[in-house]
Amino acid sequence: MSFIRRMLRLARESDSWSPEAKGFESNALSTVKGMVSIWADDTHRGEKLKGHHLNRWAKNVLKGVQELNEVFEEDEKLKKEVK
């Protein structure tokens, strides 16, 4: 999450229409895309997770999504303060 926070901060500090800012935002979103791709995989060694393994997986995914939500809400709040 620290990488995403850093990329969003760098994008916020750059000129909003600069290629640099777009690159920082792209890096953050590519990282999120990779994280979601990993979270979407509910298999282990080719077999679907079941029972308590599935519950643990779902709780970890939810925790990650909530943490990402906090990161983006924090970024939006900081953007509004700057304007």
pLDDT digits (tens, 9 = 90+) for 33-43: 999 988 888 88
Mean pLDDT score of the chain = 91
pTM score: 0.78
Distance of alpha carbon 56 from alpha carbon 67, whole angstroms: 17
What is the structure's pLDDT at 39?
A: 87
What is the structure's pLDDT at 83?
A: 66
| Helix (H/G/I), strand (E/B), else coil: 23 | helix
Averaged over 7-30, what is the pLDDT? Answer: 92
Distance of alpha carbon 17 from alpha carbon 39, whole angstroms: 32
Q: Where are the beta strands (DSSP E) in 1-83?
A: 43-44, 47-48
Q: Cβ distance 39 to 32 under 8 Å?
A: no
Averaged over 35-61, what is the pLDDT? Answer: 89
